[in-house]
Amino acid sequence: MSLSPRPVAALVVVAMQEEAEPFLHALPERAPAVELPGSARAWSLDLDGRELVLLRCGIGLVAAASALAGALARVAPEVIVSAGTTGGLGRAVEVGDVCACTQAAYNDVDATAFGYALGQTPGQPAVFTADATLVERVREVGRAALHGATATSGASQVHVGQMLAGGSFVTAANVGATRELFPEAVSTDMETTAVAQVAHAHAIAFLSVRGVSDLCGPEAGQDFHIGADEAAARSAAVVLAVLR
């Protein structure tokens, strides 16, 4: 007889070690890290007396989905959050900003020939909707958390909107087409929508909060890159503020 997964407050999914480090520095460990198949690894962290499980899944949709499915066999989180870095897509988005999702879709799925919406996988919803309460928490605390995490209290912003993910990078060469096809999208990465799909399958509240490390199509005068560690720290600051 299998044991039931243990309840935890939150499961935060990141792709890379640089994206895991801000959480590991901010929260004490409750138990040693657990090695999972592939490059995945999980930490049990203490979030003000509650357990937060941090999952480093590896890069890409398959890595994210497989690692998350494995983790959910062990823990039953109230909330799943996709965190880390992202590429800025919306024209108002700047390097150093943070993006949070209202809904997630795939940027390179096209089954429109069969009557599906662009970005929709057959048999799945047209988009995966983020938890409304969590989105509202981002609106309430995100800006203050972001400014508290930066060395300057300057112009960094929190953008709430559609987030994309896929197996293909969006670059200056194809950003125009992506913006035209997904005019409401603020960012794109390689894990968020897969995490959202697994959360949807398990009926668990979902949110994505990511720091903008680069711009998919920078324009004249725009900075186009900051370090992944800095962008990840901004993501983590907002995530922790939301969860607290």
Please say whether the beta carbons of 15 and 27 come within 8 A.
no
pLDDT digits (tens, 9 = 90+) for 20-41: 999 999 999 998 888 888 889 9
Quote the pLDDT of residue 1. 31
Task: Check residue 223 and give its pLDDT.
Answer: 61
Helix residue ranges, H only, the chain = 17-26, 61-72, 132-149, 175-181, 192-201, 228-243
Tokens of 137: 């928490």
- Cα gap 110→114, rounded to integer Å: 9
Which of 18, 19, 51, 191 is flagged as catalytic? Answer: 19
Q: For the whole model, what pTM was predicted?
A: 0.92
Residue 229 known to be catalytic: no
Among candidate residues 21, 131, 214, 229, the one labeled active-site is 214
pLDDT below 50 — which residues of the chain?
1-2, 153, 220
Q: List, in sequence order, every residue forming a beta bridge with 95; answer none if it has no partner.
A: none
Quote the pLDDT of residue 219: 65
What's the pLDDT score for residue 6?
92
C-alpha span between 154 and 174 (Å, rounded) = 31
pLDDT of residue 38: 83
Beta pairing, strands 29-35 & 185-189: unpaired
pLDDT at 225: 76
**pLDDT on residue 39:** 84
**Cα-atom radius of gyration of the chain, to the nearest Å?**
17
Catalytic residue at 214?
A: yes
Strands 205-215 and 98-106, bridge-based pairing:
antiparallel
DSSP 109: -
